């Protein structure tokens, strides 16, 4: 956890590489919690309630889903790290289900009012976007101020993610570390209509 507090995060070159190194990018990805963007197309899809959403009911399965790709930075050491943090109440997941099938999810680490997003996966259209929508809503409702995404992809940028300089990130990080977010404060999952009404960035 000291690494996260210092503004760095762990990675490995591959699942078969036993080594872990710390990363401190010059430009840091964040998802502003007041700037999450839901397109009209995604909003229409969400209103059909195609999936069931849960919190922390299948954490290890979400990490497995994130690592289940040809190339991954999640090796056994990192997997064990997140499992341990989850058991300590410091790593959490949002799960997306189609009936009894886990079809998407996102997980990360929490310290203070900062959420450090680690990875997400999807095996159904829009599942990862919906996971992020519910995660942002949950973070807003439980006192968080920072959603660190590490890097920015086109996928995250389409949802409102931005890049900021390292110095600016460290300022936001210190503010977040001094806050008192509580991911486990509630297990309430709003319906899609309620979530969308709270979101002011739909277009």
pLDDT tens-digit readout, 123-156: 999 999 999 999 999 999 999 999 999 999 998 9
State the total domains in the chain.
1
Residue 32 lies in a domain: yes
User: Which CATH number fits the domain that encloses residue 113?
Assistant: 3.40.630.70
103: pLDDT strictly greater than 90: yes
Say if 48 falls within a structural domain: yes
Tokens of 83: 């499992």
DSSP letters of 56-94?
SSSHHHHHHHHH-SSS-S--HHHHHHHHHHHHTT-EEEE
Say if 175 falls within a structural domain.
yes
Residue 14: inside a domain, yes or no?
no
In the chain, % of residues over pLDDT 70? 98
Are the beta carbons of 42 and 195 closer than 8 angstroms? no
Domain-embedded: residue 113: yes
The whole-angstrom separation of Cα 83 and Cα 87 is: 6
Which of 171, 152, 159 shows the shortest CA–CA distance to 30? Answer: 152
The rounded distance, in Å, linking the Cα atoms of 48 and 190 is 14
Q: Is residue 16 assigned to a domain?
A: no
**1 belongs to a structural domain:** no
Q: What is the pLDDT of residue 197?
A: 87
Residue 52, pLDDT above cutoff 90 = yes
Domain, as residue range, for 130: 24-198
Does some domain include residue 12? no
Report pTM. 0.94
């Amino acid at each position: 956890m000291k690494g996260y507090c210092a503004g760095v995060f762990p990675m490995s070159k591959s699942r078969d590489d036993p080594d872990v190194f710390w990363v401190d990018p010059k430009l840091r990805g964040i998802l502003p919690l007041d700037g999450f963007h839901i397109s009209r197309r995604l909003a229409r899809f969400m209103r059909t309630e195609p999936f069931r959403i849960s919190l922390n009911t299948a954490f290890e399965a979400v990490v497995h889903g994130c690592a289940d790709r040809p190339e991954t930075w999640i090796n056994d050491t990192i997997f064990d790290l997140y499992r341990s943090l989850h058991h300590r109440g410091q790593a959490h997941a949002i799960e997306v289900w189609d009936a009894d099938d886990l079809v998407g999810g996102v997980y990360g680490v929490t310290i203070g009012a900062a959420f450090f997003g680690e990875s997400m996966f999807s095996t159904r259209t829009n599942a990862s976007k919906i996971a992020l929508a519910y995660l942002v809503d949950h973070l807003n409702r439980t006192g968080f101020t920072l959603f660190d995404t590490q890097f920015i992809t086109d996928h995250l940028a389409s949802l409102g993610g931005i890049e900021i300089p390292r110095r600016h990130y460290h300022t936001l990080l210190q503010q977040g570390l001094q806050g008192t977010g509580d991911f486990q404060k509630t297990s309430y999952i709003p319906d899609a209509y309620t979530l969308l009404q709270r979101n002011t960035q739909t277009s």
